[in-house]
Every structure is written in C-alpha cells, then in structure tokens.
Amino acid sequence: MKSRALYCNGNLRMVIVHNNLLATLQISATMDTLPAWPKGKKLVHLDLKGAPPRIDYLHKLIGIFSSLGADGLLVEYEDMFPYEGELKVLQSTQHPPYSREEVLSIQEVAKSQGLEVIPLVQTFGHMEFVLKHKSLWGLREVGHCLGTLNPHREEGVRLVEEMLRQVVELHPGSTSLHIGADEVYLLGEGEESRRWLSTPGRTVQQLFLSHVTRVAKGVREAWPNLNMIMWDDMLRGMDHDTLKGSGLVGLVQLMLWDYNPTLDVKNTVYLLERYSGAGLSELWAASSFKGSTNVHTCVTSTQRHVDNHLQWLQVAAALPEGIHMLGIALTGWQRYDHLSVLCELLPLALPSLASSLQTLTHGQFSPEAQSRVTKSLGISSVEVETMESSTTSDSVLFPGRRLAELVVELTAILQSEELCHFEDNMFVRGWFTPYHRQRKSVSPLIAQQLQSQAMRLLAFVEQRVAMVKKEMVRLYPASTAQEWVEQHVSPVVAPLQRVLEDTRASLLEMVPQNVSASMGGQ
C-alpha cells in the first residue's frame, strides 16, 4: 500500500492507493456553503484554434455539456471557420476547417440540447492567425508582434468588419457576439501610434478605446439587436471618468476573466463595482476548467479548477444587489495563443468541467456534487489522473474516456524518474559524458548497457504512443495527433535518442564490427 498526503487551499487530502483502487479522504476546514451561482447563463468555451474535434465527436460533447448543466457555448473558431473570398487565406491549412454545413450543424445540435451559441471573433489582440500571413504583415501594430492589429489602417478595420460579417451571418440564431479585445500587446509602440500619441493629451487607453468603440458601433449599426461581449482586461487600469466616457457604456457587456485557484475575491468585487459604477452594468465572469495551468499541461487537475470556481462563488456572494451578472463562461483553452503548444485535450478535462459546473450549481463541491459528477460520467474519481481504467473502448457517458486514460498513462511514463533523468544516471554521468562521446572514448561494456536501457525505454514509449495516436485519430484530425506527439513526447525522448545514437557510434569505434553488430541488435 502507498499513501501520500497533499495539502492544498486549506484541505488535507490523504490519498491511499491499493490494488489500483483509489480512495480519497478529504478533511476540510469548516466552510459555510455559498449560494449557488446567480441566475444567468453558464457557457462552455470551445477553443478551436488547436485540436479541433471531429464533427461527430463535437456533437457528442455538446450533448454531454448540456447534461452536465451548461446553458450555452462560447465558440472561438479562429482558423477553423470557413472564411470565404479574400478571407479564405485565414482558413487552417494544417487540417480542413469546419464546412459551412458543419458550423450550422453545431448550432442545430446545440439548439436541440437547449444551448445558446455565442461566436467569439478576435478584433484587436490575439490576431496571430490573421497577421501571421505574409499578405497581412502590414496590418501589424509592430512587425515582431503577430497578435496586435494596427488600429490606424483602414484596411485592418475593413478586415475585422468582414470577419465579423461572415461569422454573424453564419450564426443566424445567435443573439450575442463576443468581440475579444484582450491582451492587446505592444499597443502604442507602432510608428503610426507613436505619431498619434505625440499629440498632447492622447493616451494608449484612448487609442484602445477608439478602435474597440468603432468596431462595436459598426456591429450595432449592422445588427441592432445583437448583444456584444468583450474581455475586460484592457480596461482594468482605467479610472472612473475614462470608463464612463469610453463610449462603451450601453454598447458592450464586459466579461471579467480570472482563472487563478486563489483568485483575489476582494479585488475582483472591487473591479466589478467599478465597472458597474461607471455605467458598464451588464457583466459576465469567466472562469476556467482547463488550459490555464501551464502552457504545456497534458493532464487536467480537477481540484485546481474547482478551487477557481469556489473563488468565483465567493465573488458572486459578496456583490452588492445593484450589480447584474449575466452569467459565467467556463473557459477551456486549447492553446495559450495561436502559436503555442496544445494544452490538455477535451477528454482529459471532462471531469474538471463536470465538477466545475456542479460546484456552481451546489455552491460547494460537496459529496452530493461529487456523486453527481461520478455518476454522470461513469467514473470512480473526479480526478482524471486517478480514474479506474474502463473495460470498454469508450463510454456513452464519457466520450473520449479511453483517450483520456491512455494520455494519463503515457504522461506518467514521460514524467517517470527513469525517463526524465536518464542522462543523470550514474553510468551516463560517470562513463558517457559529452567528453567521452566527442572523443569516442567510452567503455564498451557501459555503452552496451546504456544502449540496452535506452532501446527498452524507447520501445515502451513508442508502443504507448502508437496506442494514443490510434485512439486520438478517432476523435481528432491526424494532424492533431502528430502535433501532440511532436510537442509533448518528442522533446522528452530526444535526450534518450541522442544517447542511443551516441552509444551506437561509440561502439563502432571501440569494438570489432562483428561484435558491435550483435550488440546493436540487442
């Protein structure tokens, strides 16, 4: 029997593992149950700029989201949207984008499950998928930042307007649109912006607001009944008068995001009060169920994301009556940005999503909430890392479960001491340093032993990788499976492969050919 104690956020958790069964005993400090999340939408964010699910799998997931308690979808297509005409260049070339028929089918399935669909189109920052194209380089705020649009170029504004038109028109049933506008890095540092800012009294805040209000007013003029949502972070440093005179009052709904498990409740309440006091009274929250732990995380921690939602419940409970929360978006980032590696795949995060939704519903992650999660998904633990292995290839309750199990197993192997620190073992550090390798001055006996160990480990990893890829291509494009392996497996095994190559080269130098040939086949 193995046991270990974990301490997190005031909770002592004794984890006991025996015969592959796991029991979790949680001893929590006394904590009053918070009110359930106030009335309003609970949106599940679909980040499709990486690992876009195959359409049939996505349809299954939408049904699961509904059964778990979601009210809507916040869909961020990026290059998976079937842009047409001059914007066709924005379509993904790594894998085919969703077709127009598939985009409509997402909405039809969502509607049948009682879910609203809100498309998200970035209009200022995080436009890497647009500005990476050579034909559009001239629309960057600064040449070395792919994410930020130059707000002074008319062709840039027209590009954004056309992107919005195509997306809105392919979402005829949507009543809301998210226009992004978060993390507008290096704004004000472009040559045209510097000239604009040289006029006394002008600020970067005004520059940001001038572009966003222009975009928002254009949307209001084109679609008067369409609600607009935008991220709040670029407004956090603005004072009351700037916010009140921003031009955004009555035009947009702010979505305040914070994914931290130790979210600052007092400061978040203060921000919401400040926005509301300036007239920006229609507000959303944004939490996280995956994709916010580390840029290269592969296995989702349910506890971390439950803690984030418990903090948001404290925020909601502390808000004055006059502040109107329209809902909360549970974000599930697939990449930190268009050019970063893949975060956790959706199957790895379903227990976290279910747990987060149930936490909002119950006001705490109570035994009742945990039971609802395990029964809904047919799992033994709310942590994907400690679920019992299923006996079938997949599950109706938990589509993608087999892939989740295989990724957990492979990740554990990749993080094992033997693999991660292979180059630190006594034989490598003692007899197979770079000095020895460069001079081919090695002990053949040691080299043979290292070669045997490296081949064994690599063969084991390759077997597991093949199983993961086989399961992954059922749910995702083959290009996603290849990308995931190259990003999350290849960097870990590369040192092992180098040791293997160097042992072979050294043995050729130090041992007669007939003997080294027999060694290489071991």
Neighbours of 97 (CB within 10 A): 22
**Radius of gyration, CA atoms only, the chain:** 26
The residue whose two tokens read 């707000």 is: 151
Residues 73/74/77/81 CA torsion (nearest 10 deg): 60
In terms of Cα–Cα distance, which of 81, 258, 131 is closest to 182? 258
- Contact status, residue 232 vs residue 208, Cβ threshold 8 Å: no
3-class SS of residue 511: coil
3-class SS of residue 342: coil
- Spell out where 9-58 has E strands: 11-18, 21-28, 41-47
- Contact status, residue 338 vs residue 131, Cβ threshold 8 Å: no
3-class SS of residue 89: helix
- Contact status, residue 157 vs residue 210, Cβ threshold 8 Å: no
- Contact status, residue 493 vs residue 410, Cβ threshold 8 Å: no
Nearest-angstrom CA–CA distance, 232 and 67: 30
254 burial level (CB within 10 Å; 0-12, 13-18, 19+): buried
3-class SS of residue 14: strand
* Signed CA dihedral, 208, 209, 211, 216: sign only: positive
End-to-end CA distance of the chain: 36
- Contact status, residue 156 vs residue 149, Cβ threshold 8 Å: yes
Neighbours of 479 (CB within 10 A): 16
In terms of Cα–Cα distance, which of 167, 160, 169 is closest to 119? 167
Nearest-angstrom CA–CA distance, 336 and 182: 12
List, as one string, the DSSP characters of 460-504: HHHHHHHHHHHHHHHHS-HHHHHHHHHHHTHHHHHHHHHHHHHHH
Considering 161, 183, 273, 409, which one is annotated as catalytic? 183
Tokens at residue 339, please? 């050019």
In terms of Cα–Cα distance, which of 27, 23, 34, 1 is closest to 311? 34
Give the neighbor-by-neighbor strand order of the sheet with 11-18: 2-8, 11-18, 21-28
Nearest-angstrom CA–CA distance, 378 and 387: 10
Q: Catalytic: 183?
A: yes
Catalytic residue set: 183
